[in-house]
Amino acid sequence: MKTVCITGAAGNLGSLTALHLHRNSDASLRLLIHRKPFPFSLPVDGRTKICSVDLGDPATLDAALEGVDEIVHYAGVLFQARPEKFLPRTNLQYFANLLEAAKRQGVKRIHLVSFPHVEGPTSPAHPSTDRLDGSPVSMHAITRLEEEKLLLATFPDSVVLRVGMVYGRGILMPDAARWFGRHHLLGVWKRSTDIHLISKVDFLDAVAGAVANDQAKGIYNLGDEGVQTLQEYLDFACDVWGCARPWRMPESVITCAAVLFEAASAIFGVKSPLTRDFIKIGMVSYYGDTTRMRAELLPTLKYPTMREGRGTF
């Protein structure tokens, strides 16, 4: 029986992945958390162990990774002011610490959850593939691309999952958009931005497919068959939620809001739900070539487009 470690297991996608693997595989799970507790109850059946670690402190990692076969890596820091100041440390140095500990403990394979933005702007006509020579424009994407390079140089048989926008109830960003929409506060820039969607169900099945397929390695783009813009997705989502469609705003207004959020985050030590780097990455069109996903991880999607998946909103 395989032992799978999930970093960032207390986070949104990490915790959902842990639940999904517990329910749909026979793997033993090692769930790594930092300060936040794991948010769900899991059956006490001997298959799951929760370990408190600090990726910034390599001394905490070896015992947690002992006996682990594979790692699914989600851990990171978001929603803080000035991400350009901390992302080189939290995305790169912390990930390097994890890789070094994984090598010492004989971990066989690592699955890095990434996103197509690492190739820079892409589109349905020119999708993200498996390039490592892209020119990303945001610090989130720049540092994630460096993570991909470091992983594949250190663990060449590992997996990179470049994920489009995951939608569905219980996913952080769509849930936040729904709250803002119901309070007439949801806005989006006017310029059309291509996005690649995938439902929560299909995303979790694809991650489980990568873990189950011992032959899987290299870069996979995860996404559905739909073609739409961010603006079309938000309009459709608001129609499903029964609230007003988002305001179309000048980019300068959204940037000013991000500056205010970041200032409050820096002064009061609270999270910043919007940063200038989020706006940079959000304004980049992205779409991935899912040929390898469909061939090796997830041949059939439950929700091929957002319209089939509207019941999950």
The reported pLDDT for the residue numbered 1 is: 87
Could you tell me the pTM of the whole model? 0.95
Least confident of 74-78, 168-172, 276-280: 74-78
The reported pLDDT for the residue numbered 16 is: 98
Kindly report the average pLDDT of the chain as a whole number: 94
- The Cα-based distances of 20 to 14, 92, 192 in angstroms read 10, 28, 34
Residue 181 inside a domain? The answer is: no
Give the mean model confidence (pLDDT) for residues 66-90.
86
Residue 279 inside a domain? The answer is: no
Residue 263 inside a domain? The answer is: no
Give the mean model confidence (pLDDT) for residues 268-296.
90
pLDDT digits (tens, 9 = 90+) for 29-46: 999 999 899 999 887 688
pLDDT digits (tens, 9 = 90+) for 100-126: 999 999 999 999 999 999 999 999 999
pLDDT bin (cut points 50, 70, 90) of residue 92 is very high
40-49, 63-72, 257-266: which has the highest mean pLDDT?
Answer: 63-72
The reported pLDDT for the residue numbered 83 is: 75
How many structural domains is the chain composed of? Answer: 1
Place of tokens 């910043």: 272
Least confident of 7-16, 36-45, 139-148, 193-202: 36-45
pLDDT digits (tens, 9 = 90+) for 7-23: 999 999 999 999 999 99
Residue 129 inside a domain? The answer is: yes
Q: What is the CATH number of the domain that holds 292?
A: 3.40.50.720
Give the mean model confidence (pLDDT) for residues 218-233.
98
* Structural domain range at position 153: 3-166+198-222+286-303
Residue 183 inside a domain? The answer is: no
Give the mean model confidence (pLDDT) for residues 260-287.
86
Residue 63 inside a domain? The answer is: yes
The reported pLDDT for the residue numbered 81 is: 67
